[in-house]
């Protein structure tokens, strides 16, 4: 069973509906890439949300 972890800044996905759409889309994309529609039902998607103070890019904290 595939497990896909999506990491995002906390607050980017504000609603449960946005998260549902992301989870469904990621599972569908994996199934399409694998060439087997059955993977949509067997794929686990985990969304990990990270607060801005724990997020950095190019050697700087987010927002700097």
Domain residue ranges of the chain, discontinuous segments joined by +: 3-54
CATH code for the structural domain at 3-54: 3.30.429
pTM score, whole prediction: 0.85
Residue labelled with tokens 């607060």: 51
The number of CA neighbours under 13 Å toward the Cβ of 29 is 9
Q: 59: Cβ–Cβ under 8 A, 6 or more apart, which residues?
A: none
Q: What is the DSSP letter of 12?
A: S
Closest CA to 31 of 44, 21, 20: 44
pLDDT tens for the chain, 64 residues long, are: 999 999 999 999 999 999 999 999 999 999 999 999 999 999 999 999 999 889 888 998 886 6
Residue 28 tokens read as 């569908």
Residue 5 tokens read as 């972890």
């Amino acid at each position: 069973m595939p497990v896909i972890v999506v990491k995002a800044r906390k607050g980017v996905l504000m609603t449960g509906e946005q998260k549902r759409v992301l989870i469904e889309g990621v599972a569908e994309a994996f199934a399409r890439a694998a060439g087997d529609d059955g993977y949509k039902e067997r794929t686990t998607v985990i969304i990990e949300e990270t607060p801005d103070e724990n997020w950095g890019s190019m050697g700087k904290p987010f927002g700097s």
